């Protein structure tokens, strides 16, 4: 289940699940680039994790997408795995849809749906090249049970994550035959700053640790890449 030498990019990589993924994937031997909005946070994580390349950018901003994509491929020399992890709740504190400002819905959609769409599209060439080279290619979109279940006050977040989940399924149908696999995974309720912002009264002891979800996600990435390698080997033996 090791990921030795794989080139992996993670958005929202300076806290919560994103930071846990940076650590887990480095531990498994991957080359990692991570993206976050705040320069001082990016620089701190890069200092604390030698070998991880920090990129300052906001996936919710259209003009940031291509500079982010260029830095990812430039620093990693290509791309095998993209993890779209950066998320926004929309309104904070959470609010019923009727009390939610349009700008808060726009922020949730820009961060949770359009950002992953734009960044994935910008990196599809690199991912497809990796698949053709036999390395495999995976895009992991971090979803939520709010994408499936209708929770009061989670409207902006839930609607944006539902759209991301379905978009992942469509993209997988379109590109899996070319070797680019799409995963949409729900890490569950975790003890993260985002969850604390959404549910400030939650008991951290009842929440999953980000490190646990990071290990599970790394296993899922390895399994998806393993499936791709098996397919390639079968095709080679058949020709």
Domain boundaries, the chain: 7-238
Quote the pTM value.
0.91
What DSSP string describes 51-105? TEEEEE--TTSHHHHHHHHHHHHHHHTS-SEEEE-----SSSS---GGG--HHHH
Which segments of the chain does DSSP mark as H helices, in order?
16-27, 39-48, 62-76, 102-109, 115-132, 155-175, 193-198, 210-238
Residue-by-residue pLDDT tens, the chain, 239 positions:
579 999 999 999 999 999 999 999 999 999 999 999 999 999 999 999 999 999 999 999 999 999 999 999 999 999 999 999 999 999 999 999 999 999 999 999 999 999 999 999 999 999 999 999 999 999 999 999 999 999 999 999 999 999 999 999 999 999 999 999 999 999 988 678 887 887 888 888 888 898 999 999 999 999 999 865 444 333 334 43
DSSP label of 208: B
Residue 40 structure tokens: 């001082």
Nearest one of 121, 235, 236 to 180, comparing CA atoms: 121
What is the C-alpha R_g of the chain?
17
CA atoms within 13 A on the CB side of 124: 13
CA distance 226 to 190: 27
| Cβ atoms of 182 and 141 closer than 8 Å | yes
Return the pLDDT at 188: 86
CA atoms within 13 A on the CB side of 205: 0
| Cβ atoms of 36 and 12 closer than 8 Å | yes
Please provide residue 68's backbone torsions phi and psi, each rounded to the nearest 5 degrees: -65, -50
Nearest one of 158, 72, 77, 165 to 116, comparing CA atoms: 165
Measured CA distances, 116 to 21, 44, 227 (Å)? 17, 24, 24
Return the pLDDT at 236: 38
List, by residue number, the catalytic residues: 157
Nearest one of 110, 130, 114, 90 to 9, comparing CA atoms: 130
In CATH, which of 3.40.50.2300, 3.40.640.10, 3.40.50.720, 3.40.190.10 is domain 7-238?
Answer: 3.40.50.720
């Amino acid at each position: 289940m090791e990921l030795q030498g794989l080139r992996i990019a993670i958005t929202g990589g300076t806290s919560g699940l994103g930071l846990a993924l940076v650590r887990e994937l480095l531990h498994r031997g991957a080359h990692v680039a991570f993206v976050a909005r705040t320069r001082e946070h990016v620089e701190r994580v890069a200092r604390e994790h030698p070998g991880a390349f920090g990129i300052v950018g906001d996936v919710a901003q259209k003009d940031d997408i291509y500079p982010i994509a260029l830095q990812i491929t430039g620093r990693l020399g290509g791309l095998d795995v993209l993890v779209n992890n950066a998320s926004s709740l929309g309104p904070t504190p959470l609010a019923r849809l009727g009390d939610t400002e349009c700008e808060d819905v726009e922020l949730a959609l820009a961060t949770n749906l359009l950002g992953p769409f734009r960044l994935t599209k910008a990196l599809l060439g690199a991912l497809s090249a990796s698949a053709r080279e036999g390395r495999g290619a995976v895009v992991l979109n971090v979803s939520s049970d709010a994408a499936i279940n209708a929770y009061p006050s989670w409207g902006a977040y839930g609607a944006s994550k539902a759209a991301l989940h379905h978009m992942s399924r469509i993209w997988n149908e379109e590109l899996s035959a070319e070797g680019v696999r799409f995963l949409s995974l729900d890490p569950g309720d975790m003890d993260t700053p985002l969850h604390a912002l959404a549910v400030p009264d939650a008991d951290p002891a009842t929440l999953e640790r980000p490190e646990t979800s990071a290990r599970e996600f790394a296993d899922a990435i390895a399994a998806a890449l393993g499936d791709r390698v098996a397919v390639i080997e079968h095709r080679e033996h058949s020709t």
